[in-house]
Chain A
Amino acid sequence: MSKVIEGIKYADSHEWVKVEGNIGIVGISDYAQHSLGDIVYVDLPSEGDEISKGEEFGAVESVKAASDLYSPVSGTIIEINSALEDQPELINQDAYENWIIKVELADPSELDSLLDAAAYENICE
């Protein structure tokens, strides 16, 4: 059974975003890491890249699958989780602790269109 945690927002493409001030912290859900299996590589974007909601910003790879990452929010990437470069398996260990990018939000109202925990749990069933 995959874990869904309260207090953060989800996209139906299985990314989550946690808001701290005007920063959105983005990762993938436990359901997503579980479906992929052992993650062997995270293709990270560059700091400073501008992204818009729904745009592809990277990918997560397992041995026999690859899943593109779509940003749940628009803004500027201010930080990437470089620990994932050497230890992609961190996402398997805890998908919510191990975020992928931090985005300075361009339009916080976009968050309203994302799913809450209950709604996301429904689509994972």
Chain B
Amino acid sequence: MKYYDKLIFEISRSGRVGYSLPKNWSTDNGQQSTDKPDGSLSIVNCQLSIPKVLLRETPAELPEVSELDVVRHYTNVSNKNFGVETGFYPLGSCTMKYNPKINEEIAHHPAFSGLHPLQNEESVQGALAIYYHTARALSELTGLADFTLTPFAGAHGELTGLMVMRQYHLLRGDTKRTRVIVPNSAHGTNPASAAVCGLEIVEVKSTANGTVDTNDLKGLLDDTIAGIMMTNPNTLGIYETQVVEIAQLVHDAGGLLYYDGANLNPMLGASRPGDMGFDIMHINLHKTFSTPHGGGGPGSGPVGVAAHLVDCLPNPRVTFADGKYRIENGKWKIESSHPDGNCQFGNSCGRVAAFMGNFGVVMKAYTYILSLGKDIKHVGPIATLNANYVKESLRDAYYLPVDTVCKHEFVFDGLADKSTGVTTLDIAKRLLDYGYHAPTIYFPLLFHQSIMIEPTETESKETLDDFIDIMHRVAEEALSDPEMVKSAPHTTPVRRLDETTAAKNPLLKYRDLL
């Protein structure tokens, strides 16, 4: 197929339009009268009568294109992309499972998509019911008392959860607790979220198999520690078997445990964060609960807490009593008595979103939960079966640094035979030629050549077998024709890119190209 390389601005022709608006309100200075056939609408003068100083001097150069131009353009642009429906997407830590179609159908239901977020409670009872029952289901699945669904993404949930952690200590007058423990194997978002929340980061060492070093942890715990952030299974896909002991240690020291839900998928049907001893967690609905990643959003990052932290959750909250759903603390006043803008949120940690979060995404996740019901318990076991199957099938050709049973994902440290100098990057690029998305590469940082593979439960044995064959073939090519692998990909819409020049001389918009 011909490579399409136009930008929308490059197909623009002065005078073309791609929209139609009803002429309810004339745009021609109100001089003309063109009443509608039914005679019900007359024309009102709507020339902008606004002082010139407030108006734009030169028009924004937006494209001028027809509807077909637009549809064909973005169809062609989409053909340069790869999604879960294009092919197998074993991107570790991202849980690229199938995104069911019914989720999309439900989320587009007009009875929900037309609701204004500030409509009166009585008129949005159906929407609030979804919000409320999704939170209840997430509580059941995680063993935590309550959830807020307002955070927009995993990182946003993480930050919100840390605000809850700080607020809990502050409410108790325990102001010294301003440090948070993060494993050195953690994703960069953990320390970044902690820093945004005003917490100082303390790194706890990992053992050789990537689990938290409890001896090191013991030495770090004191009355300045607000808590610890962990994933379980950890970044290597390994269950932290000492989690009960860790919870005990941290709680005894007065700290709280935060569960990063990035790796929650294998725990469905297996083990609940609340039962493990975690006090706060976030969930990535776009990972575990099948909502599409959308090329990087919109996601949703609900935050759950144990009973003693419910009051610290952000506003607004959705409650149910006497047969009616209510939005609690949905509004916040600017009071002249607080001209400094101090927070007046009561026990709540505050507010992190203007409305109710990515409600449309919540609808998709709730549809998924209802579709599977109790059977959601099979998700974790099958995801784990798939990961272990791929691991055991490829360990002859790729180096497995930690040899143990994994959960939903596992990490290779490059090829078993590295003699030809073929790197993880080269393998990733060669996989693109074979029609696969690459696994996550160079994360975790514990190894130099990390390849992190997460197959998810929605992939069949045949899909995995085909992938295993190709991974073997690439490993063979790395020995037989290393230069070809090092210059891969060869068949993709574009080949390897000059990222250095892009960073040195940033060209960030169409005008920069002219």
Contact = CB atoms under 8 A, between A and B. Distances in A.
A87 to B, nearest CB: 9
Interface string A54-75: 0000000101000000000000
A40 B500 CA distance: 7
B interface bracket (residues with beta carbon within 8 Å of A):
under 10
Interface in B498-513: 499-500, 503-504
Contacts of A61: 503
A41 interface: yes
Interface string B25-42: 000000000000000000
A27 interface: no
Contacts of B503: 40-41, 61, 63
Contacts of A89: 504
Interface in B475-504: 499-500, 503-504
A50 interface: no
Interface string A66-107: 000000000000000000000011000000000000000000
A75 B504 CA distance: 31
B68 to A, nearest CB: 39
Contacts of A38: 500
A88 B500 CA distance: 11
A40 B498 CA distance: 12
Contacts of A41: 503-504
A61 B503 CA distance: 9
B189 to A, nearest CB: 16
Nearest to A88: B504
Contacts of B499: 63
Interface string B323-366: 00000000000000000000000000000000000000000000
Contacts of B500: 38, 40, 63
Contacts of A40: 500, 503-504
Interface string B178-189: 000000000000
B281 to A, nearest CB: 30
Nearest to B504: A40
Nearest to A61: B503
A40 B503 CA distance: 6
A38 B500 CA distance: 7
B476 to A, nearest CB: 29
A61 B506 CA distance: 14
Interface string A3-42: 0000000000000000000000000000000000010110
A89 B504 CA distance: 9
Contacts of B504: 40-41, 88-89
A68 B224 CA distance: 27
Nearest to A38: B500
Contacts of A88: 504
A92 to B, nearest CB: 10
B423 to A, nearest CB: 13
Interchain residue pairs A-B with the least CB separation, the first 7: A40-B503, A40-B504, A38-B500, A63-B499, A63-B503, A63-B500, A40-B500
Given A63-B499, A63-B500, A89-B504, 9 more contacts: A38-B500, A40-B500, A40-B503, A40-B504, A41-B503, A41-B504, A61-B503, A63-B503, A88-B504
Interface of A: 38, 40-41, 61, 63, 88-89
12 contacts: A38-B500, A40-B500, A40-B503, A40-B504, A41-B503, A41-B504, A61-B503, A63-B499, A63-B500, A63-B503, A88-B504, A89-B504
